[in-house]
Amino acid sequence: MNTKYIFITGGVASSLGKGIIASSLAKLLQTRGLRVTIQKFDPYINIDPGTLNPYEHGECYVTEDGAETDLDLGHYERFLGVYTSKANNVTTGKIYHTVITKEREGAYLGKTVQIVPHITDEIKRRMLLLGQTGAYDVILTEIGGTVGDMESQPFIEAVRQLQWELPEEDCMSIHLTLIPYLSAAKELKTKPTQHSVQMLQQSGVKPDVIVCRTEHPLTPELRRKIALFCNVRPGHVIQSIDAWSIYQVPLNMHEEHLDELAVRKLQIDNYAQPDLSRWKVFLDRLAHPSREVEIALVGKYVELQDAYKSIREAFVHAGAANDCKVSVRLVHSEKVTPESVETLLAGVDGILVAPGFGERGLEGKICAVRHAREKGIPFLGICLGMQMCVVEFARNVLGWADAASAEVRPDSPHPVICMMEEQKKTTVKGGTMRLGAFACELSPESLAANLYGRTRISERHRHRYEFNSEYLGTFEEAGMKATGHNPDTGLVEVVELPDHPFFIGVQFHPEYKSTPENPHPLFVGLVRAALNR
Ligand code: GLN
């Protein structure tokens, strides 16, 4: 069988959940026994979102091979349980960078370099790249942005060309739109969808299926009307009704026959019916928890839903694993002070101090760590959160009031967190952090080894600073143990307080690898400790 390509575009509004629809369809195809991956094409000019503030674009997700990517790749991995890579996220920036570099090398000598065909050729080359590895039966491609945006036009044009170049049965196009509900008129409105599809068709792309995001069920008449005006078959208009959990969406899409429409259009025979039994076990636990805990998430981006996406999803997975609902109390680190900390963290069963960069909210994170340490509240610090538990310990246990991270106090007399040696040479910001998966060796008796159930692990990183090993002896004597090291460089990756019920700081990002079917042991452990409290 040839590799099959499914393109997913969006219209009417952004944030309709294209990533979730792509992930859900991919999940259904995967559970039918197909090898599936999803890639995202983002129309912005940054090479990657690594240099974007989370306020702009939500969390920056990191892959095994160290790509800083769009957060939708997190959904792809969580739904499919399959790793993505650098090749799974392409931006306009990457496309132009390649084309312009080639132009300077003389690859187009004598020619005018143009959007069509040079930029669109490069887009198409990248769209087909993963398919050429032979590792996948189906590649889903999500086009970021909304149809009609000036910057997404070359991507839509590339899809148009591929629709003609690929055999008809190897290519499918899905358009996701919004059907707004006007409460005054008590009516669902199809006009924005009609216009969006018109715009798509003006660009030469004909959708095979229209997925309508809606708050109320679509009647058969409404579906027929959309089909009529949007030039698709009546059975090919399906609804994506607001779901109680994103993890319910694959089941909803199956009920709407989206996977069946896909295998029929793509002429995939010998397919099984999807086997969603494992997924349903998870969903069932998620829907009917018998207990509840509240965990504080302390960070400076808490006002934005998507800024800590993977952490919040990891709590969902860990909650289900513990038969427990995890309520996350979002605590703004800038608001946490020695005076307010008792009130802001009153009654929480656990505390997670989030990753981050720069000075804003740092003192609040340190206050939160102190509160967790002194009150015996289960604690997990991730990346900057780990670094702040080292600073807190230096200040309040070792008595070094001037201890700090060199990230914000390069001249501190006690730089307990210092810049990694390899980072001192870097002047360029984009893609130069310590990124991606590295091995870590855990001390056999540690809490971490106990939670993972083994001593050799691998986790993903994204940082420039590290625990300053010069101080390691002093920390260990006073009770903070380094229980995880990089086997090659000796870099401290995990710190713990063995005298505390549950206190662990990790330099890496466990949240990136948590999935419904494989909840992360550190999150499962934190929730369990919170329950036991
Ligand atoms: N700012 C810190 C560093 O660069 C932590 C980064 C993070 O939390 N991802 O080391």
- pLDDT value for 310: 97
pLDDT at 15 over 90: no
Ligand 1 pocket, residue 4 CB under 6 Å: no
Question: Nearest 5 degrees, angle CA 72-CA 78-CA 81?
Answer: 125
pTM of the model: 0.95
Measured CA to CA, the distance from residue 31 to residue 51 in angstroms comes to 36
Which of the residue ranges 14-18, 30-34, 61-65, 241-245 would you say has the lowest mean pLDDT?
A: 14-18
Q: Which long-range contacts (CB under 8 A, 24 or more apart) does 192-198 make?
A: 192/11, 192/12, 193/11, 193/12, 193/226, 193/230, 194/226, 194/229, 194/230, 196/11, 196/12, 196/147, 196/148, 197/11, 197/229, 197/230, 197/231
Q: What is the pLDDT of residue 525?
A: 98
Judged by average pLDDT, the poorest of 117-121, 337-341, 416-420, 422-426 is 422-426
d(Cα 149, Cα 458) in Å, to the nearest integer? 40
Structure confidence at residue 418 (pLDDT): 95
pLDDT at 25 over 80: yes
Tell me the average pLDDT across 146-156: 94
> Residue 15 C-alpha to ligand 1 middle, in angstroms?
28
Q: What number is the average pLDDT over the span 137-156?
A: 95
pLDDT, tens only, 277-291:
999 999 999 999 999
CB of 384 closer than 6 angstroms to any ligand 1 atom: yes
The whole-number pLDDT of residue 57 equals 83
Query: CA angle 78-79-84, nearest 5°?
Result: 60
Atom of ligand 1 at shortest range from CA of 509: 9
Residue 421 banded pLDDT, cuts 50, 70, 90: confident
Chain centroid to Cα 31, Å, comes to 22
Helix axes 309-321, 277-287, angle to 10 degrees: 90
Q: Which of 308, 310, 387, 421 to mutate to test the pocket of ligand 1 (most atoms within 8 A of CB)?
A: 387
Query: Looking at ligand 1, which atom is closest to the CA of residue 383?
Result: 8
What integer is the mean pLDDT of 73-83?
97
Looking from the CA of residue 433, the nearest atom of ligand 1 is: 4
Residue 322 has pLDDT above 90, yes or no: yes
Q: Is 367 designated active site?
A: no
pLDDT at 378: 98
Residues 489-515 pLDDT 10s: 999 999 999 999 999 999 999 999 999
At 427 the pLDDT is 86
Dump pLDDT digits (tens) for 161-198. Answer: 999 999 999 999 999 999 999 999 999 999 999 999 99
How high is the mean pLDDT of the chain?
96
Residue 509 appears among annotated catalytic residues: yes
Looking at residue 533, its pLDDT comes to 87
Q: Is residue 463 in contact with ligand 1, taking CB distance under 6 Å? A: yes
Q: What is the DSSP letter of 455?
A: S
pLDDT in tens, 283-317: 999 999 999 999 999 999 999 989 999 999 999 99
pLDDT of residue 234: 85
* DSSP letter string, 30-66: HTTT--EEEEEEE-SSSSSGGGS-HHHHSPPEE-TT-
Distance from C-alpha of 128 to C-alpha of 134, rounded to nearest angstrom: 11
How many Å lie between the centroid of ligand 1 and the Cα of residue 464? 6
Count other C-beta atoms under 10 Å from residue 383's C-beta.
23
Which pLDDT does position 55 carry in this prediction? 85
Q: Choosing from 383, 389, 418, 440, which is the catalytic residue? A: 383
Decide if 147 contacts 199 (C-beta within 8 A). Answer: yes
Per-residue pLDDT, averaged over 234-241, amounts to 94
Q: 38-58, pLDDT tens digit by residue? A: 999 999 999 999 988 888 889
Helix axes 362-375, 384-396, angle to 10 degrees: 70
195 lines ligand 1 (CB under 6 A): no
Tokens of 388: 């702040």
Share of the chain above pLDDT 70, in %: 100
How far is 111 from 392, CA to CA, in rounded Å? 61
Query: In the prediction, which pLDDT does 85 show?
Result: 96
pLDDT at 326: 98
Asked about 122 being catalytic, the answer comes back as: no
Nearest CA to ligand 1 atom 1: 357
- Calculate how far, in angstroms, residue 174's C-alpha sits from the geometric centre of ligand 1: 38
